[in-house]
Amino acid sequence: MLGCRPSDTPIRVDKISDEGDIGKAVDMGRYQRIVGKLIFLSHIRLDIAFAVIVVSQHSHDPKQKHLNEVYRILRYLKGSPGYGLLFKKSDKQSIEIYTDADSASDQDDRKSTSGYCTFV
């Protein structure tokens, strides 16, 4: 991954679909370790949170197409090293939380997608 070309976005617009031939199976342990580290990183890199949620849904049976999407997230991280949250101690503590959801918008399983934004 050191010599790879950075990606502009963490996930494709059409994202991952389970329909059709999606490739050969990959090492599930390796896939889960990488996705686990991305989940941890998504707490300070909120720009990858949705993409990480999408790839983590395939941890039980990852295929090559799913691994390619994980690599895309890693390439995106390589191209955006200065992004992220920096928490500092402050005398003024203010927390604002906003949430939103859409109903049954996922094309694959018709489940709802929700999101949140927290301002500290």
**pLDDT band at residue 117 using 50, 70 and 90 as cut-offs:** confident
CA angle 71, 85, 96 (to 5 degrees): 120
Q: Is the pLDDT of residue 94 over 90?
A: no
Single pTM value for the model: 0.69
Mean pLDDT, the chain, as a whole number? 82
Pair 70, 35: CB distance under 8 Å? yes
Q: Is the pLDDT of residue 18 over 70?
A: no
The pLDDT tens digits for 37-56 are 999 998 888 889 889 998 99
The pLDDT tens digits for 27-40 are 999 999 999 999 99
For tokens 């949140």, the residue is: 116
CA–CA gap between residue 109 and residue 78 (Å, rounded): 31
Residue 16: predicted pLDDT:
57
In this structure, what DSSP letter does residue 30 have? Answer: H
